[in-house]
Structure 1
Amino acid sequence: MGRAWMVRHDGRRAALAFLIVSLLMTLVTPLHAQDPVQGAGQARPLTLVALGDSLTAGYGLPAAAAFPVQLEAALRARGHAVTIANAGVSGDTATGGLDRVDWSVPDGTDGVILELGANDMLRGTDPAVTEKALGGIIARLKARGIPVMLAGMRAAPNLGPDYGRRFDALYPRLAERDGLVLYPFFLDGVAGDRSLTLPDGLHPTKDGVARIVAGILPSVETFLARLRKGA
Protein backbone atom coordinates (compact mmCIF):
# COMPACT_ATOMS: atom_id res chain seq x y z
CA MET A 1 0.00 0.00 0.00
CA GLY A 2 2.73 2.47 1.00
CA ARG A 3 4.82 1.56 -2.04
CA ALA A 4 1.86 2.04 -4.40
CA TRP A 5 1.20 5.45 -2.85
CA MET A 6 4.82 6.49 -3.41
CA VAL A 7 4.66 5.44 -7.07
CA ARG A 8 1.48 7.42 -7.61
CA HIS A 9 2.98 10.41 -5.76
CA ASP A 10 6.19 10.34 -7.83
CA GLY A 11 4.15 10.08 -10.99
CA ARG A 12 2.17 13.17 -10.07
CA ARG A 13 5.41 15.10 -9.34
CA ALA A 14 6.85 14.09 -12.72
CA ALA A 15 3.66 15.17 -14.49
CA LEU A 16 3.70 18.51 -12.64
CA ALA A 17 7.35 19.08 -13.56
CA PHE A 18 6.56 18.36 -17.22
CA LEU A 19 3.72 20.89 -17.17
CA ILE A 20 5.95 23.57 -15.63
CA VAL A 21 8.71 23.02 -18.23
CA SER A 22 6.13 23.11 -21.04
CA LEU A 23 4.71 26.38 -19.72
CA LEU A 24 8.17 27.96 -19.51
CA MET A 25 8.94 26.94 -23.09
CA THR A 26 5.76 28.62 -24.36
CA LEU A 27 6.75 31.81 -22.53
CA VAL A 28 10.39 31.85 -23.69
CA THR A 29 9.83 31.01 -27.37
CA PRO A 30 7.94 34.23 -28.25
CA LEU A 31 10.75 36.27 -26.71
CA HIS A 32 13.23 34.73 -29.14
CA ALA A 33 10.83 35.28 -32.01
CA GLN A 34 10.86 39.00 -31.23
CA ASP A 35 14.67 39.27 -31.39
CA PRO A 36 15.29 41.45 -34.49
CA VAL A 37 18.59 39.74 -35.27
CA GLN A 38 17.14 36.23 -34.86
CA GLY A 39 14.27 37.25 -37.12
CA ALA A 40 16.48 38.48 -39.95
CA GLY A 41 16.02 35.32 -41.99
CA GLN A 42 18.63 33.55 -39.85
CA ALA A 43 21.25 35.21 -42.07
CA ARG A 44 24.91 34.48 -41.38
CA PRO A 45 26.37 37.22 -39.16
CA LEU A 46 28.59 39.65 -41.06
CA THR A 47 31.92 40.82 -39.67
CA LEU A 48 32.94 44.39 -40.51
CA VAL A 49 36.06 46.37 -39.67
CA ALA A 50 35.95 50.14 -39.22
CA LEU A 51 39.39 51.27 -40.41
CA GLY A 52 40.02 54.86 -39.47
CA ASP A 53 41.57 57.50 -37.27
CA SER A 54 40.52 59.10 -33.97
CA LEU A 55 36.99 59.67 -35.32
CA THR A 56 36.61 55.90 -35.53
CA ALA A 57 38.71 55.08 -32.45
CA GLY A 58 36.50 57.18 -30.17
CA TYR A 59 39.03 59.78 -29.02
CA GLY A 60 38.14 61.18 -25.59
CA LEU A 61 35.16 58.84 -25.15
CA PRO A 62 34.44 55.63 -23.23
CA ALA A 63 34.97 52.56 -25.41
CA ALA A 64 31.23 51.89 -25.44
CA ALA A 65 30.56 55.29 -27.02
CA ALA A 66 32.91 54.86 -30.00
CA PHE A 67 31.55 54.90 -33.54
CA PRO A 68 31.87 51.14 -34.28
CA VAL A 69 30.07 50.21 -31.06
CA GLN A 70 27.21 52.65 -31.56
CA LEU A 71 26.87 51.71 -35.22
CA GLU A 72 26.76 47.99 -34.42
CA ALA A 73 24.05 48.59 -31.81
CA ALA A 74 21.98 50.65 -34.26
CA LEU A 75 22.28 48.02 -36.97
CA ARG A 76 21.37 45.17 -34.64
CA ALA A 77 18.34 47.14 -33.44
CA ARG A 78 17.23 47.24 -37.08
CA GLY A 79 17.58 43.47 -37.44
CA HIS A 80 21.05 43.17 -38.95
CA ALA A 81 23.26 40.35 -37.69
CA VAL A 82 26.60 42.14 -37.70
CA THR A 83 29.70 42.74 -35.59
CA ILE A 84 32.01 45.71 -36.15
CA ALA A 85 35.65 45.71 -35.02
CA ASN A 86 37.26 49.01 -34.11
CA ALA A 87 40.46 49.48 -36.14
CA GLY A 88 40.71 53.21 -35.51
CA VAL A 89 44.09 54.72 -34.58
CA SER A 90 44.20 58.29 -33.32
CA GLY A 91 46.40 60.53 -35.44
CA ASP A 92 46.51 58.10 -38.33
CA THR A 93 46.75 59.30 -41.92
CA ALA A 94 45.75 57.60 -45.14
CA THR A 95 49.37 56.57 -45.64
CA GLY A 96 49.48 55.16 -42.11
CA GLY A 97 46.33 53.19 -42.86
CA LEU A 98 47.95 51.76 -45.98
CA ASP A 99 50.95 50.66 -43.93
CA ARG A 100 48.80 48.72 -41.46
CA VAL A 101 45.80 47.57 -43.50
CA ASP A 102 47.08 44.01 -43.93
CA TRP A 103 47.20 43.33 -40.18
CA SER A 104 44.38 45.66 -39.15
CA VAL A 105 41.87 43.79 -41.32
CA PRO A 106 42.01 40.05 -40.55
CA ASP A 107 41.13 37.26 -42.94
CA GLY A 108 37.44 36.41 -42.82
CA THR A 109 36.34 40.05 -42.72
CA ASP A 110 33.20 40.56 -44.82
CA GLY A 111 33.59 44.29 -45.39
CA VAL A 112 35.47 47.43 -44.36
CA ILE A 113 34.20 50.93 -43.58
CA LEU A 114 37.14 53.13 -44.54
CA GLU A 115 37.33 56.47 -42.70
CA LEU A 116 40.70 58.15 -43.22
CA GLY A 117 42.00 61.46 -44.53
CA ALA A 118 40.99 63.95 -41.83
CA ASN A 119 44.53 64.15 -40.45
CA ASP A 120 45.94 64.50 -43.97
CA MET A 121 43.68 67.50 -44.43
CA LEU A 122 44.56 69.06 -41.07
CA ARG A 123 48.26 68.77 -41.95
CA GLY A 124 47.73 70.23 -45.40
CA THR A 125 48.95 67.06 -47.11
CA ASP A 126 48.78 67.13 -50.90
CA PRO A 127 45.37 65.58 -51.77
CA ALA A 128 47.10 63.52 -54.46
CA VAL A 129 49.08 61.76 -51.72
CA THR A 130 45.92 61.04 -49.74
CA GLU A 131 44.09 59.77 -52.79
CA LYS A 132 46.95 57.47 -53.74
CA ALA A 133 47.10 55.98 -50.23
CA LEU A 134 43.34 55.46 -50.01
CA GLY A 135 43.38 53.91 -53.46
CA GLY A 136 46.12 51.57 -52.28
CA ILE A 137 44.05 50.48 -49.28
CA ILE A 138 41.05 49.81 -51.49
CA ALA A 139 43.19 47.85 -53.97
CA ARG A 140 44.75 45.67 -51.27
CA LEU A 141 41.39 44.83 -49.77
CA LYS A 142 39.90 44.18 -53.19
CA ALA A 143 42.74 41.74 -53.93
CA ARG A 144 41.73 39.87 -50.77
CA GLY A 145 38.08 39.82 -51.79
CA ILE A 146 37.02 42.30 -49.08
CA PRO A 147 34.54 45.01 -50.21
CA VAL A 148 34.95 48.60 -48.99
CA MET A 149 32.56 51.37 -48.08
CA LEU A 150 34.12 54.83 -48.16
CA ALA A 151 33.40 57.51 -45.56
CA GLY A 152 34.46 60.87 -46.95
CA MET A 153 35.85 64.01 -45.38
CA ARG A 154 35.77 67.67 -46.36
CA ALA A 155 38.50 70.27 -46.12
CA ALA A 156 38.35 73.04 -43.53
CA PRO A 157 37.60 76.46 -45.08
CA ASN A 158 40.84 77.99 -43.75
CA LEU A 159 42.87 75.80 -46.14
CA GLY A 160 41.67 77.85 -49.09
CA PRO A 161 39.32 77.17 -52.00
CA ASP A 162 41.88 75.48 -54.24
CA TYR A 163 42.91 72.95 -51.61
CA GLY A 164 39.28 72.44 -50.67
CA ARG A 165 38.24 71.63 -54.24
CA ARG A 166 41.07 69.16 -54.72
CA PHE A 167 40.60 67.44 -51.37
CA ASP A 168 36.79 67.25 -51.46
CA ALA A 169 36.83 65.74 -54.94
CA LEU A 170 39.04 62.77 -54.14
CA TYR A 171 36.42 60.74 -52.25
CA PRO A 172 33.69 60.85 -54.92
CA ARG A 173 36.34 60.09 -57.55
CA LEU A 174 37.58 57.00 -55.70
CA ALA A 175 34.03 55.81 -55.07
CA GLU A 176 33.09 56.19 -58.72
CA ARG A 177 36.28 54.55 -59.96
CA ASP A 178 35.87 51.48 -57.75
CA GLY A 179 32.07 51.36 -57.53
CA LEU A 180 32.00 51.91 -53.76
CA VAL A 181 29.18 52.93 -51.47
CA LEU A 182 30.11 56.48 -50.41
CA TYR A 183 28.98 58.48 -47.40
CA PRO A 184 30.21 61.90 -48.56
CA PHE A 185 31.01 63.58 -45.23
CA PHE A 186 31.60 61.58 -42.06
CA LEU A 187 31.08 64.60 -39.78
CA ASP A 188 27.90 65.76 -41.47
CA GLY A 189 25.66 67.45 -38.90
CA VAL A 190 28.44 67.48 -36.31
CA ALA A 191 31.23 69.68 -37.72
CA GLY A 192 30.83 73.22 -36.44
CA ASP A 193 28.25 72.31 -33.78
CA ARG A 194 29.96 72.90 -30.44
CA SER A 195 27.18 71.05 -28.60
CA LEU A 196 28.19 67.84 -30.41
CA THR A 197 31.98 68.17 -30.19
CA LEU A 198 34.54 67.95 -27.43
CA PRO A 199 36.25 71.16 -26.22
CA ASP A 200 38.80 70.82 -29.05
CA GLY A 201 35.98 71.54 -31.50
CA LEU A 202 37.06 68.62 -33.69
CA HIS A 203 36.11 65.30 -32.12
CA PRO A 204 32.49 64.28 -31.54
CA THR A 205 30.95 63.72 -28.14
CA LYS A 206 28.91 60.60 -27.44
CA ASP A 207 25.85 62.44 -28.79
CA GLY A 208 27.92 63.60 -31.73
CA VAL A 209 28.79 60.00 -32.57
CA ALA A 210 25.10 59.13 -32.31
CA ARG A 211 24.40 61.87 -34.86
CA ILE A 212 27.06 60.44 -37.17
CA VAL A 213 25.55 56.97 -36.83
CA ALA A 214 22.06 58.27 -37.64
CA GLY A 215 23.38 59.96 -40.76
CA ILE A 216 25.54 57.12 -42.07
CA LEU A 217 23.09 54.30 -41.24
CA PRO A 218 21.25 54.22 -44.59
CA SER A 219 24.54 54.06 -46.49
CA VAL A 220 25.79 51.23 -44.27
CA GLU A 221 22.57 49.32 -44.83
CA THR A 222 23.07 49.70 -48.59
CA PHE A 223 26.59 48.33 -48.10
CA LEU A 224 25.29 45.39 -46.08
CA ALA A 225 22.76 44.60 -48.80
CA ARG A 226 25.61 44.44 -51.31
CA LEU A 227 27.56 42.13 -49.03
CA ARG A 228 24.56 39.84 -48.60
CA LYS A 229 23.95 39.79 -52.33
CA GLY A 230 27.55 38.91 -53.05
CA ALA A 231 27.78 36.26 -50.34
Structure 2
Amino acid sequence: MIPFESIRRGILLKAGLAHAIYRASIFALLLFWIMSVSALADDPKMDYPLPDETVTTDFVKAGEKPVNKAVLVKQHESYILQPGNRIKVTIYPEDEYIKGGDIEVSSDGYITLPLVGKIQVLGLSVREVEGTLTALVDQDYLVNPEVVIEVTEQTEREVMFLGAVKQPGAVPFPKGTAHFTLLQALSEVGGFSDVANIKKVKIVRDANGEKQVLRANVEAIISGNDPDIELQSGDIVHVAESLF
Protein backbone atom coordinates (compact mmCIF):
# COMPACT_ATOMS: atom_id res chain seq x y z
CA MET A 1 0.00 0.00 0.00
CA ILE A 2 1.07 3.58 -0.66
CA PRO A 3 1.79 5.35 2.58
CA PHE A 4 -0.78 8.01 3.55
CA GLU A 5 1.93 10.63 3.93
CA SER A 6 3.02 10.18 0.29
CA ILE A 7 -0.56 10.62 -0.92
CA ARG A 8 -0.97 13.78 1.15
CA ARG A 9 2.26 15.26 -0.21
CA GLY A 10 1.20 14.48 -3.78
CA ILE A 11 -2.12 16.26 -3.31
CA LEU A 12 -0.44 19.32 -1.80
CA LEU A 13 2.09 19.42 -4.64
CA LYS A 14 -0.64 19.35 -7.29
CA ALA A 15 -2.62 22.05 -5.46
CA GLY A 16 0.44 24.28 -5.22
CA LEU A 17 1.20 23.80 -8.90
CA ALA A 18 -2.39 24.68 -9.88
CA HIS A 19 -2.30 27.80 -7.73
CA ALA A 20 0.97 28.90 -9.30
CA ILE A 21 -0.45 28.40 -12.79
CA TYR A 22 -3.56 30.45 -11.83
CA ARG A 23 -1.45 33.33 -10.49
CA ALA A 24 0.72 33.29 -13.61
CA SER A 25 -2.38 33.46 -15.82
CA ILE A 26 -3.79 36.43 -13.90
CA PHE A 27 -0.45 38.24 -14.14
CA ALA A 28 -0.25 37.59 -17.89
CA LEU A 29 -3.78 38.94 -18.46
CA LEU A 30 -3.03 42.04 -16.38
CA LEU A 31 0.20 42.68 -18.29
CA PHE A 32 -1.63 42.30 -21.63
CA TRP A 33 -4.31 44.81 -20.55
CA ILE A 34 -1.70 47.38 -19.46
CA MET A 35 0.17 47.07 -22.76
CA SER A 36 -3.08 47.45 -24.76
CA VAL A 37 -4.11 50.63 -22.92
CA SER A 38 -0.63 52.09 -23.38
CA ALA A 39 -0.73 51.38 -27.12
CA LEU A 40 -4.12 53.08 -27.50
CA ALA A 41 -2.90 56.14 -25.61
CA ASP A 42 0.07 56.48 -27.98
CA ASP A 43 -2.07 56.09 -31.11
CA PRO A 44 -2.86 59.60 -32.56
CA LYS A 45 -5.95 58.19 -34.26
CA MET A 46 -7.47 57.53 -30.86
CA ASP A 47 -6.90 61.07 -29.56
CA TYR A 48 -10.58 61.87 -29.08
CA PRO A 49 -11.84 64.46 -26.56
CA LEU A 50 -13.51 63.23 -23.45
CA PRO A 51 -17.31 63.73 -23.29
CA ASP A 52 -17.01 66.74 -20.98
CA GLU A 53 -14.22 68.39 -22.96
CA THR A 54 -14.87 71.37 -25.25
CA VAL A 55 -13.01 71.35 -28.54
CA THR A 56 -11.55 74.79 -29.18
CA THR A 57 -9.91 76.48 -32.14
CA ASP A 58 -7.95 79.66 -32.60
CA PHE A 59 -11.11 81.66 -33.19
CA VAL A 60 -13.59 80.03 -30.78
CA LYS A 61 -13.26 80.30 -27.02
CA ALA A 62 -13.97 77.32 -24.83
CA GLY A 63 -17.67 76.96 -24.17
CA GLU A 64 -18.71 79.30 -27.01
CA LYS A 65 -20.44 78.36 -30.24
CA PRO A 66 -18.46 78.92 -33.46
CA VAL A 67 -19.35 82.17 -35.22
CA ASN A 68 -20.40 81.93 -38.84
CA LYS A 69 -18.56 84.91 -40.31
CA ALA A 70 -20.43 84.62 -43.61
CA VAL A 71 -23.73 85.19 -41.79
CA LEU A 72 -22.33 88.23 -39.96
CA VAL A 73 -21.11 89.77 -43.22
CA LYS A 74 -24.49 89.20 -44.87
CA GLN A 75 -26.32 90.77 -41.93
CA HIS A 76 -24.01 93.79 -42.06
CA GLU A 77 -24.45 94.29 -45.81
CA SER A 78 -28.24 94.14 -45.51
CA TYR A 79 -28.39 96.64 -42.64
CA ILE A 80 -30.67 99.58 -43.50
CA LEU A 81 -29.06 102.94 -42.80
CA GLN A 82 -30.99 105.33 -40.58
CA PRO A 83 -30.59 108.88 -39.27
CA GLY A 84 -28.06 108.99 -36.46
CA ASN A 85 -26.04 106.03 -37.72
CA ARG A 86 -22.30 106.55 -37.75
CA ILE A 87 -20.43 104.88 -40.58
CA LYS A 88 -16.80 104.54 -41.61
CA VAL A 89 -16.29 104.97 -45.34
CA THR A 90 -13.04 103.70 -46.86
CA ILE A 91 -12.19 104.30 -50.53
CA TYR A 92 -9.58 102.30 -52.46
CA PRO A 93 -7.18 103.18 -53.98
CA GLU A 94 -6.30 105.93 -51.53
CA ASP A 95 -6.39 109.46 -52.89
CA GLU A 96 -5.54 112.77 -51.23
CA TYR A 97 -8.68 114.43 -52.56
CA ILE A 98 -11.30 111.69 -52.55
CA LYS A 99 -11.48 110.49 -48.98
CA GLY A 100 -13.95 108.70 -46.80
CA GLY A 101 -13.82 108.90 -43.04
CA ASP A 102 -16.20 108.72 -40.10
CA ILE A 103 -19.57 110.14 -41.10
CA GLU A 104 -22.92 110.50 -39.36
CA VAL A 105 -26.15 110.04 -41.28
CA SER A 106 -28.04 113.32 -40.96
CA SER A 107 -31.56 113.63 -39.58
CA ASP A 108 -32.91 113.86 -43.14
CA GLY A 109 -30.96 110.77 -44.25
CA TYR A 110 -27.92 112.18 -46.07
CA ILE A 111 -24.15 111.79 -45.86
CA THR A 112 -21.59 114.16 -47.35
CA LEU A 113 -18.23 113.23 -48.89
CA PRO A 114 -15.51 115.65 -50.08
CA LEU A 115 -15.90 116.46 -53.81
CA VAL A 116 -18.63 113.85 -54.20
CA GLY A 117 -21.12 115.95 -52.26
CA LYS A 118 -24.39 115.07 -50.55
CA ILE A 119 -25.81 111.56 -51.02
CA GLN A 120 -29.21 110.25 -49.92
CA VAL A 121 -28.77 107.01 -47.93
CA LEU A 122 -31.98 106.81 -45.87
CA GLY A 123 -33.69 103.47 -46.39
CA LEU A 124 -30.77 102.00 -48.35
CA SER A 125 -28.75 98.99 -47.27
CA VAL A 126 -25.01 99.15 -46.67
CA ARG A 127 -24.40 97.19 -49.87
CA GLU A 128 -26.61 99.58 -51.89
CA VAL A 129 -24.77 102.63 -50.57
CA GLU A 130 -21.41 101.01 -51.32
CA GLY A 131 -22.58 100.45 -54.89
CA THR A 132 -23.87 104.02 -55.24
CA LEU A 133 -20.65 105.58 -53.93
CA THR A 134 -18.51 103.27 -56.07
CA ALA A 135 -20.39 104.37 -59.20
CA LEU A 136 -20.09 108.08 -58.31
CA VAL A 137 -16.36 107.88 -57.59
CA ASP A 138 -15.70 105.76 -60.68
CA GLN A 139 -17.61 108.19 -62.88
CA ASP A 140 -15.51 111.27 -62.24
CA TYR A 141 -12.53 110.60 -59.99
CA LEU A 142 -10.88 107.16 -59.73
CA VAL A 143 -10.44 104.14 -61.98
CA ASN A 144 -12.04 100.93 -60.71
CA PRO A 145 -12.48 102.15 -57.13
CA GLU A 146 -13.75 100.09 -54.24
CA VAL A 147 -15.84 101.57 -51.44
CA VAL A 148 -16.20 99.78 -48.12
CA ILE A 149 -18.68 100.91 -45.47
CA GLU A 150 -18.64 99.82 -41.84
CA VAL A 151 -21.49 100.74 -39.49
CA THR A 152 -19.73 101.85 -36.31
CA GLU A 153 -22.78 103.06 -34.39
CA GLN A 154 -26.37 101.98 -34.80
CA THR A 155 -29.40 103.85 -33.55
CA GLU A 156 -32.57 102.52 -32.01
CA ARG A 157 -35.54 103.91 -33.92
CA GLU A 158 -38.85 104.04 -32.12
CA VAL A 159 -42.17 105.84 -31.85
CA MET A 160 -44.22 106.56 -28.74
CA PHE A 161 -47.91 105.71 -28.33
CA LEU A 162 -50.08 107.59 -25.85
CA GLY A 163 -53.79 107.63 -25.14
CA ALA A 164 -56.45 105.08 -26.00
CA VAL A 165 -54.41 102.07 -27.12
CA LYS A 166 -54.15 98.72 -25.37
CA GLN A 167 -50.40 98.88 -24.71
CA PRO A 168 -49.16 102.50 -24.54
CA GLY A 169 -45.42 103.06 -24.67
CA ALA A 170 -42.41 102.99 -26.95
CA VAL A 171 -42.53 100.84 -30.09
CA PRO A 172 -39.22 100.07 -31.84
CA PHE A 173 -39.01 99.94 -35.62
CA PRO A 174 -38.72 96.38 -36.96
CA LYS A 175 -35.07 95.50 -37.49
CA GLY A 176 -33.77 95.72 -41.02
CA THR A 177 -36.54 97.98 -42.31
CA ALA A 178 -36.67 101.68 -43.05
CA HIS A 179 -40.45 101.93 -43.33
CA PHE A 180 -42.95 101.69 -40.48
CA THR A 181 -46.53 102.78 -41.00
CA LEU A 182 -49.22 103.85 -38.56
CA LEU A 183 -51.25 100.67 -39.05
CA GLN A 184 -48.17 98.49 -38.56
CA ALA A 185 -47.29 100.32 -35.35
CA LEU A 186 -50.87 100.06 -34.06
CA SER A 187 -50.70 96.29 -34.39
CA GLU A 188 -47.60 96.32 -32.18
CA VAL A 189 -49.49 98.03 -29.32
CA GLY A 190 -52.42 95.64 -29.52
CA GLY A 191 -54.73 98.01 -31.36
CA PHE A 192 -57.16 100.55 -29.95
CA SER A 193 -58.77 100.38 -26.54
CA ASP A 194 -62.56 100.20 -26.20
CA VAL A 195 -62.84 103.96 -25.65
CA ALA A 196 -60.67 105.05 -28.60
CA ASN A 197 -61.82 107.53 -31.18
CA ILE A 198 -60.11 106.03 -34.21
CA LYS A 199 -61.04 109.04 -36.34
CA LYS A 200 -58.90 111.34 -34.20
CA VAL A 201 -55.27 110.26 -34.10
CA LYS A 202 -52.60 112.92 -33.73
CA ILE A 203 -48.94 112.46 -34.66
CA VAL A 204 -46.45 114.96 -33.25
CA ARG A 205 -43.16 115.07 -35.15
CA ASP A 206 -39.90 116.95 -34.67
CA ALA A 207 -39.05 118.35 -38.10
CA ASN A 208 -35.59 119.93 -37.91
CA GLY A 209 -36.26 121.40 -34.48
CA GLU A 210 -39.83 122.46 -35.20
CA LYS A 211 -42.95 120.64 -34.02
CA GLN A 212 -45.16 119.34 -36.78
CA VAL A 213 -48.62 117.91 -36.10
CA LEU A 214 -50.22 115.37 -38.43
CA ARG A 215 -53.80 114.19 -38.04
CA ALA A 216 -55.06 110.80 -39.13
CA ASN A 217 -58.43 109.14 -39.52
CA VAL A 218 -57.61 105.46 -39.05
CA GLU A 219 -61.13 104.43 -40.06
CA ALA A 220 -60.56 106.08 -43.45
CA ILE A 221 -57.10 104.48 -43.73
CA ILE A 222 -58.51 101.01 -43.07
CA SER A 223 -61.29 101.51 -45.62
CA GLY A 224 -58.75 102.65 -48.22
CA ASN A 225 -60.04 106.20 -48.51
CA ASP A 226 -56.91 107.70 -46.92
CA PRO A 227 -53.31 106.55 -47.39
CA ASP A 228 -51.48 104.97 -44.48
CA ILE A 229 -49.01 107.33 -42.79
CA GLU A 230 -45.32 106.46 -42.68
CA LEU A 231 -43.94 107.10 -39.23
CA GLN A 232 -40.54 108.54 -38.41
CA SER A 233 -38.32 107.77 -35.47
CA GLY A 234 -39.24 110.02 -32.56
CA ASP A 235 -42.89 110.46 -33.58
CA ILE A 236 -45.41 110.67 -30.73
CA VAL A 237 -48.77 109.13 -31.61
CA HIS A 238 -51.72 110.18 -29.45
CA VAL A 239 -55.07 108.45 -29.78
CA ALA A 240 -58.00 110.46 -28.42
CA GLU A 241 -60.80 108.95 -26.36
CA SER A 242 -64.35 108.91 -27.62
CA LEU A 243 -66.83 111.13 -25.78
CA PHE A 244 -69.53 108.47 -25.99
TM over 0.5: no
Normalising to structure 2: TM-score of the pair? 0.28
Q: Which has the larger Rg? A: 2
Considering Cα pairs closer than 8 Å and 6+ residues apart, tell me whether 1 or 2 has the greater RCO.
1
Indicate the structure with greater strand content.
Answer: 2
